[in-house]
C-alpha cells in the first residue's frame, strides 16, 4: 500500500515541469474529464479534474498516486480508478478545500480505504 498518496513516485519524475492542464483523464472504464489544475510538488502532487457534464460539473481532487500512467503522445492521464471510485470521492471545491489540511487527509484516507487501496482495481 502506498503510504504517501500525494506522490507520483520515481517512475513519473520525467514529467516534473510538464503542464498537464487540459489533458484528457481516463478511468479504467472510460473518460471522466480534463485536468483543470495540478501540482508536481514533492509529497504534495495532485490533479484537479473537471468532470464536465459527467458528474454535473463536479471537480475532483485526485492524489498523484491514483495515476497509473501518462500517455505523452495523446496528452492523456490514465488512472488506476474506476468511474465509480472517482464519482464517490469526497466533494471538492477549489476555493474551500485545496489548502485545507483536514480535507486533504480526508481525501488521503478515502483513496487508501475507499479507492483502489481498499481493494479496488489498482493501477493498470
Residue 98's domain is classified under what CATH number?
2.30.30.240
Q: Is residue 5 part of a domain?
A: no
* Percent of the chain topping pLDDT 70: 81
Q: Say what the pLDDT of residue 18 is.
A: 87
Going by C-alpha positions, the residue among 34, 30, 27 that lies closest to residue 57 is: 34
Q: Is residue 4 part of a domain?
A: no
pLDDT in tens, the chain (124 residues): 356 888 887 667 667 778 999 999 999 999 999 999 998 888 888 999 998 876 666 889 999 989 999 998 999 999 999 998 888 888 888 878 888 888 888 888 888 875 544 444 444 3
Residue numbers of the domain that contains 57: 10-113
Q: How far apart are CA 44 and CA 80, in angstroms?
A: 19
Q: Say what the pLDDT of residue 88 is.
A: 84
Q: Is residue 70 part of a domain?
A: yes
Q: Say what the pLDDT of residue 52 is.
A: 80
Q: Is residue 85 part of a domain?
A: yes
Q: Is residue 51 part of a domain?
A: yes
**CB-side exposure of 5: number of CA atoms within 13 Å?**
22
| Number of independent structural domains in the chain | 1
Amino acid at each position: 500500500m502506498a503510504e504517501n498518496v500525494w506522490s507520483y513516485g520515481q517512475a513519473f519524475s520525467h514529467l516534473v515541469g510538464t503542464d498537464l492542464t487540459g489533458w484528457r483523464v481516463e478511468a479504467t472504464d472510460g473518460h471522466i474529464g480534463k485536468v483543470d489544475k495540478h501540482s508536481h510538488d514533492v509529497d504534495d502532487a495532485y490533479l484537479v479534474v473537471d468532470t464536465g457534464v459527467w458528474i454535473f460539473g463536479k471537480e475532483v481532487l485526485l492524489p498523484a498516486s491514483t495515476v497509473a500512467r501518462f500517455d505523452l503522445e495523446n496528452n492523456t492521464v490514465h488512472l488506476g480508478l474506476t468511474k465509480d471510485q472517482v464519482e464517490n470521492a469526497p466533494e471538492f471545491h477549489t476555493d474551500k478545500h485545496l489548502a485545507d489540511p483536514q480535507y486533504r487527509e480526508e481525501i488521503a484516507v478515502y483513496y487508501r480505504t475507499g479507492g483502489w487501496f481498499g481493494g479496488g482495481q489498482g493501477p493498470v
